[in-house]
A and B are shown apart, each in its own frame.
Chain A
Amino acid sequence: MIILSFLTHSFPENVMTIQFFFFMLINGLSQGMVLFIVASGLSLVFGVLRVINFAHGSLYMVGAFLAFSLSTLFSGGSLFSFLMLMVLVPPAIAILGLGLEIPLFRRIYGKEHLLQLLLTYALLLILDDACRLIWGGDIRNVARPDLLAGSIDFFGQYLPTYNVFILVVGPLIGVGLWFLLHRTRAGNLIRAAVSYPEMVGALGVNVSRVMTGTFMLGCWLAGLGGVFMSALANIDLSVGMEKIIECFAVVVIGGLGSIGGALLGSLIIGVGISFIQLPFSRLAIVFPYIVMALILIIRPWGLFGKPER
C-alpha cells in the first residue's frame, strides 16, 4: 500500500480521481490474477521438475491464440461459448505439454541447468515462430461474453464486469490449487516428489508419471491464463515473451515453488505495471526487471522462499 499511496501523489490532481484510481487498481489486480494463474503453473513445474520452463510463456500465448481461433468458430458473445473456451483450451495446452514432456523434458531431468534452460529456450523459439506462421502478427482479442461485458455498480463506482469476474475466478483457482496440493492424494504425491523423489519412487510410486502430470497441470494453468487474457486485453506475438519475464519476476519475488508467494508477487507486478503504465509507459516494461534485480540483491530466495544452502 505504500507504493500505491506514493503513486497517487505522483499524478496531477485533475486526472487522479477516485474513479480513475479504482479503474487502475482493478485493472492491475485482474492483470495480476491472470499472471498468478500462469506463474503458479511455472512455479509448480519448477518445484517438481526442477526445470525452469522458458517456453511457459509461449504455451500461454498458444492458449490465448487458440482461444481466439475457437471463439471465431462459436457464435461470439454468449456466455456458453466463453465457457467452452475455458473448458476446451486448457486441456489442449496440457496435451501439447504432454507431447513436449515425454520426448524432450524427460531426457534432461537432473542434468545441468544450462542444458535445461537451453532446451526450453529452443522450445520457446519454435513455439513463438510457429505462432507467427499460424496466426500472423496481427493484434487479436476475444469478444467478452454479453453477461460479462458491462460494468457493475460497486459502492457508486462502475467497474468492468469482466475484471470483477477474473478477480473472483483467480482466487478460486488459487484455492483449488491449494486444495489439490494439500488435500488430495495426487497433491500429496506431488509435494512428496518435490522433497524426496527417490523415497517416493522407493515406495512404489511411478515418479515420472507424477512429473508428467505436474507438467500437464502447469500447462493447463498456462492455457487457462491465456483464455482469460484473450478477453481481458489485446494479444499479439509479443505477449509470450512479456509474460515469461513477468512470471520470472513473480517467482523471484515469491520464491520458486511457493504458490502463496506467487499470488503476492503477481499482485505486486500486476498493480505496479498498471499504475506505472499511464504516466511512464516505457518504464512499465522495465518494472519487472527492476523488482527482480532488487529482490535478488536483497533477498535472493524471495519473500516466501527459504535459502537453498
Chain B
Amino acid sequence: MDKSRPENKNWIVGIGFIVALFILPFILAKMGRTGEFWIWVTTEMIIMALFATSLNLILGFGGMVSFGHAAFFGVGAYTVALLMKKAGVPLGLSLMAAPCMAAIAAAIIGWFCVRLIGLYFAILTLAFGQLLYMIAFQWYTFTGGDDGIHGIPKPEFLGPANYYLFCLVIFLVCFLIMRMVMNSSFGLSIRITRENTERAKFIGINVRRYQLINFIIAGFFAGLAGGLFTELNRFAQTEFLHWSRSGDAIFACLVGGMYSFIGPAIGSSILIFLHIIIQQIHQSLVETWAIFLGFILLAVVLFAPEGLVGLYEKLFKKS
C-alpha cells in the first residue's frame, strides 16, 4: 500500500496549509516582540522539518537506523559558517556549497556504513558521527572548538520574516524533490531493500549502491538544513554535530510517523512546539524536558508505532 500518494482531499488541505504558512509571518510581524519570537520558532521548525524529512529517507524508506545524521547537518552548518565568516562568500553560494560538502561527507562515511546491516549500521554511524563531532571540538584554529563560530554576517534584505519565507520556499522545493525521488523507480527500489533485502538482490538491485546513493541524498538535504540553521542563529557550534541531534530527528520521524512522507515534518514541528510551550509555562520545566520526551516516546513506541500519521489513518480512514 502506498501511503505517500495523497488523495484529492489531501491536496486541498495541503495547499490551504501552505498558503496559511505563507501568510503567517505577516500576521506575526504585527505582534511586536512576541511575534518576532514566533517567526524565529516557526523558521526553526521549517528547517528541522527539512532535517527530519531527509533522515526519513534512510530511516523510514531505507529501513536503516542512523545515529550519525547530525554529522551532515553539522558539516553543512560549518561550511556556511566558515565560508561566510572567514572567506566572505555570499549567502547564496555558501548555501549551495553546504549540501555539497555534506554529500561528500555522506559519500565517504556511507561507503563504510552501508556494508553493515541493522544494529551494526546504527553503531558505525554513531561512531563516525561522534568522530566528526570530536574533530570539530578539537580543531580549535579551524572550527573554534567548543566556542563555535559566532557573528556570521547577515545580508541586509533578510529580516526575520523574509528569512522565514526564504526557508519556506527552500523547504517546499526540497520536499517536492525528495518526494519525487521516493516515488521514482529508485525510491521504490529503496523500499524493496527495506522490505526484503534478499529479494531485492535476487531481482538484480545492487542493494549497497542504492543504499549508498540514498545515504548521500539524505546527507545532501541534511547539509542544506544545517546551513539554513546556521544562518538563522548566526552561529555554528559543536552541538550541531552531537548525536543527540540525530536522536531528536529520529524522535521526530517516530512521533510523526516514519512510513509516511509528511510524518517527520509534522513530528519535528510538534516536538519543537511542545518544547517551546513548556519553556513558556515555566523556565524550570525545561530541565525536565528529557522526561517529557521519554514518556512521549514510550507512549508512541508502545501504542502508536506508526506515529501520528498512522494513528490518524487508523482513526479516520477505515480502509
Give A contacts to B, CB under 8 Å.
52, 104, 107-108, 111-115, 117-119, 121-126, 128-130, 132-133, 245, 248, 252, 256, 282, 285-286, 289-290, 292-293, 296-297, 300
Cβ of B131 under 8 Å from chain A: yes
Residues on the A chain within 8 Å of B298, using CB: 104, 119, 122-123, 126
Closest B residue by C-beta to A124: B294
Pick from B99-107, B120-128, B165-173, B177-185 the stretch touching chain A: B120-128
> What A residues does B287 contact at CB under 8 A?
129, 132
Q: Is B305 in contact with chain A by the CB < 8 A criterion?
A: yes
Known A115-B301, A117-B122, A282-B137: A125·B127 in contact at CB below 8 Å = no
Do B118 and A113 have beta carbons less than 8 Å apart? Answer: yes
Report the Cα distance A143→B254, complex, angstroms.
Answer: 44
- Extra contacts, 12 of them, besides A113-B118, A114-B59, A300-B115 (Cβ < 8 A), are A111-B305, A114-B65, A117-B122, A123-B294, A125-B293, A129-B291, A133-B288, A285-B134, A292-B127, A296-B127, A297-B112, A297-B124
Q: B290 and A286: CB pair below 8 A?
A: no
Output the nearest chain A residue to B303 by Cβ-Cβ distance.
Answer: A107
A115 B118 Cβ-Cβ under 8 A: no
Nearest Cβ on chain A to B307's Cβ, whole angstroms: 11
Q: Chain A residues near B247: list those with CB within 8 A.
A: 121
Contact residue among B119, B120, B134, B291 (Cβ-Cβ distance under 8 Å from A286): B134
Q: Is B17 in contact with chain A by the CB < 8 A criterion? A: no
Cβ of A246 to closest chain B Cβ, rounded Å? 12
> Smallest CB–CB gap between B261 and chain A, Å?
18
Task: Contact check, B123 vs A252: say whether CB atoms are below 8 A apart.
Answer: yes
How many Å from the CB of A301 to the closest CB on chain B?
Answer: 8
Q: How far is the CB of A255 from chain B (nearest CB, A)?
A: 11
Q: Is chain B's binding surface mostly helix, strand, loop or mixed?
A: helix
Is A300 touching B116 in the complex (CB atoms < 8 A)? yes
- Contact at A113–B305, with CB atoms within 8 Å? no
> Cα distance A52–B122 when bound, in Å?
11
A-B pairs with beta carbons under 8 Å apart, 10 shown = A52-B119, A114-B59, A119-B297, A119-B301, A121-B297, A122-B295, A124-B294, A125-B293, A282-B138, A289-B127
Q: Which residues of B contact A289 (CB under 8 A)?
A: 126-127, 130-131, 134
Structural contact, A292 and B65, CB atoms closer than 8 A: no
Instruction: Convert B238-272 into 0s and 1s, putting 1 for each residue whose CB lies closer than 8 angstroms to a CB of A.
Output: 00000000010011001000000000000000000
Residue of A285, A289, A297 ringed by the most chain B CB atoms within 10 A: A289
Residues in B with CB closer than 8 Å to A113 are: 65, 118-119, 122
Residue picked from B115, B126, B294, most chain A C-beta under 10 Å: B294
Interface contact A300-B302, CB-CB below 8 Å? no
Chain A residues in 8 Å Cβ range of B59: 114
In angstroms, Cα B130 to Cα A121, docked, is 17
Contact code string B128-169 (vs A, CB < 8 Å = 1, else 0): 101100100110000000000000000000000000000000
Nearest residue (CB) in B for A122 is: B297
Q: Which residue of A lies closest to B300 (CB)?
A: A118
* Ranked 8 nearest A-B pairs via Cβ: A122-B297, A126-B294, A125-B294, A293-B127, A129-B290, A289-B127, A125-B290, A292-B127
Chain A residues in 8 Å Cβ range of B123: 248, 252, 292, 296
- Given A113-B118, A282-B134 in contact, is the A296-B124 Cβ separation under 8 Å? yes
Give A297's nearest chain B residue, CB to CB: B112
Write the nearest CB–CB distance from A226 to chain B, whole angstroms.
20
Q: How far does the Cβ of A293 sit from chain B's closest Cβ, in whole Å?
A: 4
CA distance A83 to B45 in the complex (A): 53
Partner pick for A290 among B131, B290, B294, CB 8 A cutoff: B131
Q: How far is the CB of A112 from chain B (nearest CB, A)?
A: 8
Residues of chain A within 8 A of B137, CB atoms compared: 282
Q: Given A115, A285, A293, which contacts B128 in the complex, CB threshold below 8 Å? A: A293
**Interface-centre pick from B59, B293, B301 (highest chain A CB count, 10 A):** B301
Residues of the A chain whose Cβ atoms lie less than 8 Å from the Cβ of B112: 293, 296-297
Select from chain A the residue with minimum beta-carbon distance to B121: A296
With both chains docked as a complex, state the minimum distance between the C-beta of B257 and any C-beta of chain A, in angstroms.
Answer: 13
**Given the complex of chains A and B, what is the CA–CA distance between A25 and B4 in angstroms?**
57
